[in-house]
Structure 1
Amino acid sequence: MVQLRGVIPAHLLPFTADLEIDEPNLRRHLRALLDIDGVTAITTNAHASEVATLTADEQRRQLDIVLDEVAGAVPVISGVYQDGTAKAARIAADAETAGADALLVFPSVVFEGGSQARPEMAFGHYAQIAAATSLPMIAFVYPATSGLRLGTDAIVAICSQIDNVVAIKEWSNDIVAYERNLRALRALDKPIAVLSSFSRSLLASLVLGADGVLSGHGSVVADLHAELFAAVGKQDLAHARRVWDRIQPFAEACYADPFLDGHNRMKVALELLGRIDAAHVRPPLQAVTDTERDRLRVAVEQAGLARA
């Protein structure tokens, strides 16, 4: 059984100038993450790697590159990003065939039409995907303000009744909802890992309790995530606050409005740090402005991030 604990970055995806997958820079990015003590797994085909812009063939190629570069050093978690349940199940089965160790299952955009009123729809989505694979699954919990959100009862049903589901990526962005979900899952007989994705309030979520951190933001600050997670685990709050004081301004710069540019900004940070050659993004995303690049440069300096 894959142990889902610790710092699990969702890697970014470098593109070439003609917007094809930049394999050399992707491998370089992955090697840098794997060199960090405390990184316990790698997530691919997720928001951070612009999965919405990738074809099915590109998703498979990306997974193959990640598996090859990781070479068994840590588990590889592959995203299942698809609105139709049957299509999502095929993606899950294909990822298992390719050699993925676990799956991160995104909610279907169909949920936005009212999954809170029809929780059996979300349950059926996860159950059908689970039937197509033997891999452990992580259920992606969206913000409490999102139409794709799942209520605590729905989360508990999915986690307790579907054997494959062994963890959640907790991105409710509401500390009250987070604690409610955490306490409900801790009360189950079945162990469910709670992986925080509270990039803008990570310290608070870790202090309440979490088994790890699964975040695209970790693609830039995985070393600081690891240091923060370890400090909280040791109950060294003074140290944890010092680390968080470095992370927080950079998180605010990355996730500022408009939120959709978050991973775009993280790519710019990697470029500024010399960790990738260029921060190309696929449309409909657009390059950030020079003014924003300057703000990110300041945030990188404030965080004391190391250049490659």
Structure 2
Amino acid sequence: MVSFHGVIPAHLLPFTEDLQIDETNLRRHLRALLDVEGVAGITTNAHASEVATLTADEQRRQLDIVLDEVAGRVPVISGVYQDGSAKAARIAADAEAAGADGLLVFPTVVFEGGAQLRPEMAVGHYATIADATSLPMIAFVYPATSGLRLDTDTLVRICSEIDSVVAVKEWSNDIVAYERNLRALRALDRPVSLLSSFSRSLLASLVLGADGILSGHGSVVVDLQVELFRAVEKQDLGEARRVWDRIQPFAEACYADPFLDGHNRMKVALAQLGRIDAAHVRPPLQPVSDTERATLRTAVERAELPRG
């Protein structure tokens, strides 16, 4: 079974002016990510690619394009973004049939009503998906303030009872919860990778310990994420701080309030860098303001990001 380590960007999804998948620019974007030495995988059908706005057919088409471009060079992880467990299982089985190497399992909105009090719901959701596919799965830990969160005990149950869960995308956005989850995973009797998604405090999370990075922010700064991850691995804190000083102001610009515009802003940055032609987003998202575009341009310049 594939294990997941290293820097794994979640790609963005360019749209045409009439809001259809822009295959030309998607392929261009994927090639740029794959050209970065040290990229250890590609994640598709996730938040960064606006999966909530995609039909099942569009999700499958996107996965097919990613698989074609990757051509076996690195693992391809496909998101399972669905509320019902049976429907999620069908998406997972379809991704396996298409050729995906792994699955990123999103929490269902059903959890919002108090799943922390019914941990068997989360365990059962993962178990249903695991019964439908042989692919390795990544459990997605949402922010500690979210109704969709998994607490540490539930996360341990999932990883202990479902062998195909081999990694965790840790997005708790709470460094205390992060360390608690990290220590609990390290205490398991089998290896489960922890992939940090702390895009606004990535250095701090990596210093505590992580097996990799899985983040939509990598769609723009994957080269810097690779440098940062390697510096921390070498315990070169001076170099890690130097790289983080380039990333941090750009991360703040991307993830400013309202948070829902984060990947919208990343698309704008890619367009400003000449890496995609345009930054169209599907409703209910709306284009960002001219003021935000100026802020992003300044952040891009401060980070000294390469142009396309």
The one-letter code sitting in structure 2 at the alignment partner of 1:179 is: E
- Partner AA of 2:196 in structure 1: S
What one-letter code is carried by the residue in structure 1 that aligns with 2:121?
M
Amino acid at match of 2:270: L
- Paired with 1:151 and 1:67, the residues of 2 have a C-alpha distance of 33
2:83 and 2:108 in contact (8 A); partners too? yes
Q: Post-superposition shift, 1:2? A: 1.5
Matched, 1:21 2:26: no
Which ranges of 4 or more aligned residues in structure 1 deviate by more than 4 Å?
none
Quick check: 2:261–2:285 contact (8 Å CA) kept in 1? yes
CA RMSD of aligned residues (A): 0.4
Q: Name the TM-score, length of structure 1 as normaliser.
A: 1.00
Given that 2:3 and 2:166 are in contact with CA atoms closer than 8 Å, whether structure 1 keeps it comes out as: no
Structure 2 residue 228 is the aligned partner of structure 1 residue 224: no
In structure 2, the partner of 1:210 is: 210
Residue 163 of structure 2 is matched in structure 1 by 163
> 2:255 touches 2:262 (CA, 8 Å); kept in 1?
yes
Residue ranges of structure 1 left out of the alignment (5+ in a row): none
Per-residue deviation, 1:158: 0.2
- After the TM superposition, which residues 24-43 of structure 1 pair with which residues of structure 2 at under 5 Å, given as runs? 24-43=24-43
Write the deviation string for residues 82-138 of structure 1: whole angstroms up to 9, x where unpaired.
Answer: 000000000000000000000000000000000011011011000100110000000
| Contact kept? 2:193, 2:211, Cα under 8 Å | yes
Q: Percent identity?
A: 84
User: Cα offset for 1:3?
Assistant: 2.8
Shift of 1:38: 1.0
Show the counterpart of 2:193. Answer: 193
Residue 73 of structure 2 aligns with an amino acid whose one-letter code is: A
Normalised TM-score (structure 2): 1.00
- Aligned partner of 1:55 in structure 2 is 55
Q: CA deviation at 1:160?
A: 1.1
- Pairing 1:111-150 to 2, within 5 Å after superposition: 111-150=111-150
Q: Which runs of 5+ in 2 are unaligned?
A: none
In the alignment, residue 82 of structure 2 is paired with which amino acid? Q
Quote the residue 1:175 is aligned against. Answer: 175
The correspondence of residues 88-103 of structure 1 with structure 2, limited to 5 A, is: 88-103=88-103
Whole-Å Cα distance in 1 between the matches of residues 69 and 306 of structure 2?
22
Amino acid at match of 1:205: S
Q: Secondary structure at the match of 2:204?
A: helix
Would you say how many aligned residue pairs link Structure 1 and Structure 2?
A: 308
> What SS does the corresponding residue of 1:74 show, helix, strand or coil?
coil
AA paired with 2:223? Answer: D
C-alpha distance in structure 2 between counterparts of 1:50 and 1:42, whole Å? 15
Worse-superposed segment, 1-10 or 108-117: 1-10
The Cα offsets for residues 33-75 of structure 1, whole Å up to 9 and x where unpaired, read as 0000110000000000000000000000000000001000100
- Contact 2:220 / 2:270 at 8 angstroms: preserved in 1? yes
- For the residue of structure 1 that corresponds to 2:139, the secondary structure is strand
